[in-house]
Chains A and B, each alone.
Chain A
């Protein structure tokens, strides 16, 4: 603990080797130089020891979630695996009404990964954490042999507090409730597809990855009756809506004409035969709110950075329970089902 007595640890290698997972000096150097000096967790013990006044409020609930992140490529326009590892877990807490406080971060690193990439990932994580007002308080690193991983895998767990009186739960959605999204759909999925390069498409589309806690707090202050929110990550908006319809036993009807979509995302989808409703998002949520507070929720959202593109996209109905139907621009309808398997380009 006598940090003044020795110079800060430094990684000398330019790539990760198995030695960095061996538990010796190389590992300590890596952890301290690349991660803890950036995250600055409190103390330097093997576990974070934490207290927060909001936990003491009667009726407050602890919210706890975990998620693993694998993405290829690790760096893409608009973010990297570090950004989504923080935003994803923060947003998992946020859609439950929690105020996120602390995260853990565990890295599985494949031998051969350049140290500079790790530094960039750590910096992105810290930036995203600051933006979300959370702290990364504990973590772990492991190194696996070449071929046993795919660059870097990150697992983050998050802890937050749900203030007394908040119950956001999908099963509470009622027919008539209004569905609102905070912005354009599919940017993350399209950005990753283009960044992967196999399809040789170039675009200016950026991933939408962003923390949504400010947005959610603003909405809940303006429209406390919000029934539930879901982040439309893997499986896209279609999956989020189907989960809600299923849990609440209601039908959901959305309007094709009201879906916010960037022209470039539409373009990528038309070229590759993909459906933007199934593209992943990393900073997009859909929430259901009773009609009398829909306007308030929408305005509150639009007043935040992450919600400027907010739109009403549909509503819950008594018709067709547990089924999501999209009214097409012609007034025809079609079922929007859960994704079957992985969405593959349909070209020929």
Chain B
């Protein structure tokens, strides 16, 4: 499954055994794991984005119904 490649994890390993990385996401660049994805931060960013999206959907729906009423 997927695409496999050996990478160097020195940059993302803190004082912990390498097994600690299992199941975590990381950004890979030229064969090196450079940063562990901070899942909480990702969720926060996505929340803001989703809210902007939902607000827009509502605005569009409102505009559409106004147009309907006006016509």
Chain A residues engaging chain B, CB cutoff 8 angstroms: 194, 199-204, 263-264, 267-268, 271, 347-348
Contact = CB atoms under 8 A, between A and B. Distances in A.
B1 to A, nearest CB: 7
A203 B5 CA distance: 9
Interface of B: 1-6, 28, 30-31
A201 B3 contact: yes
A201 B5 contact: yes
A144 B6 CA distance: 38
B27 to A, nearest CB: 12
Interface of A is mostly: mixed
Contacts of B1: 204, 264
A271 B5 CA distance: 10
A347 B30 contact: yes
Given A347-B30, A348-B30, A200 B3 contact: no
Majority DSSP secondary structure for residues of B touching A:
loop
B3 A271 contact: yes
Nearest to B6: A200
B5 A263 contact: no
Contacts of B30: 347-348
Most buried by A among B2, B3, B28, B30: B3
Nearest to A263: B2
Contacts of B28: 271
Given A202-B3, A264-B1, 19 more contacts: A194-B3, A200-B5, A200-B6, A200-B31, A201-B4, A201-B5, A202-B4, A203-B2, A203-B3, A203-B4, A204-B1, A263-B2, A264-B2, A264-B3, A267-B2, A271-B3, A271-B5, A271-B28, A348-B30
Contacts of A268: 3
Contacts of B6: 200
B60 to A, nearest CB: 13
